[in-house]
């Protein structure tokens, strides 16, 4: 009798593991469109504000928009993450990998934005180029994970923008990044939202 119960328990565990594996591999489309739309808007505003400040008072408080808007983005992202985890009972492997890529990218970007002004390792003009290269890696990797061409093209736009920044004076870098945000964040984010919405409707 005891052996029969153990066998039933083992069978239930195996079924639970199997259902968990199916759920984890069910879909590669990770609906994180809200993050792209929020961060795209914040980056765009930060870049335009920095450019305007540089025109009016060169070298004075030009990083203030970044110091204000980036923490706001972090707080909003934290709230969105908590809401997503509360709604989702199982995290797919695609989501796990995707979130890891963006967590690593976010930490690296924070080190550059907030650490470099303290230690002055990279010249200030390299900041936009470095952030663009990081964003390109994360966006392209997201497209590779989900199999979405729009994200791969978005990643390429970030890298092309970084090359353009290397060729032009640094005073134009905020404007260049602001223009990259549209194909690099906002358009893929909107298309991801549409794609996830159509999948949920099925």
Report pLDDT for 54.
86
| pLDDT of amino acid 26 | 42
In tens, the pLDDT along 103-140 reads: 999 899 989 988 888 888 999 889 999 999 999 999 99
Length of the chain: 202
Q: Which residue has the higher pLDDT, 125 or 197?
A: 125
Encoded tokens for 63: 């990083």
| Average confidence (pLDDT) over 70-81 | 89
Q: Quick one: average pLDDT of 58-80?
A: 85
As a whole number, mean pLDDT of residues 27-47 equals 86
Extract the tokens encoding 64.
Answer: 């203030």
Q: How far apart are CA 81 and CA 95, in angstroms?
A: 12
For residue 64, what pLDDT band results from cuts at 50, 70 and 90?
Answer: confident
Which tokens in the block code for residue 195?
Answer: 């794609």
Helix (H, G, I), strand (E, B) or coil at 32: coil
pTM of the model as a whole: 0.80
- Please tell me the distance from the alpha carbon of residue 188 to that of residue 143, in angstroms, as a whole number: 9
Burial, 79: exposed, middle or buried (Cβ in 10 Å; 0-12, 13-18, 19+)? Answer: exposed
| Mean pLDDT score across all residues of the chain | 83
178 or 86, greater pLDDT: 178
Confidence at residue 56, expressed as pLDDT on a 0 to 100 scale:
82
């Amino acid at each position: 009798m005891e052996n029969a119960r153990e066998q039933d328990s083992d069978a239930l565990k195996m079924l639970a593991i199997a259902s968990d594996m199916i759920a984890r591999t069910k879909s590669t489309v990770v609906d994180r469109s809200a993050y792209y739309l929020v961060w795209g808007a914040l980056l765009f505003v930060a870049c335009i504000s920095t450019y305007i400040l540089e025109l009016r008072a060169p070298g004075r408080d030009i990083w203030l928009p970044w110091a204000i808007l980036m923490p706001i983005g972090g707080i909003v992202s934290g709230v969105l993450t908590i809401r997503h985890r509360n709604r989702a009972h199982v995290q797919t492997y695609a989501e796990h990998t995707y979130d890891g890529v963006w967590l690593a990218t976010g930490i690296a970007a924070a080190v550059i934005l907030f650490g470099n002004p303290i230690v002055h390792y990279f010249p200030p003009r390299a900041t936009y180029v470095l952030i663009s290269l990081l964003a390109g890696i994360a966006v392209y990797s997201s497209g590779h994970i989900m199999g979405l061409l729009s994200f791969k093209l978005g990643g390429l736009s970030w890298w092309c923008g970084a090359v353009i920044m290397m060729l032009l004076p640094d005073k134009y870098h905020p404007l260049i990044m602001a223009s990259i945000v549209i194909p690099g964040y906002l358009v893929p984010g909107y298309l991801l939202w549409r794609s996830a919405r159509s999948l949920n409707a099925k």
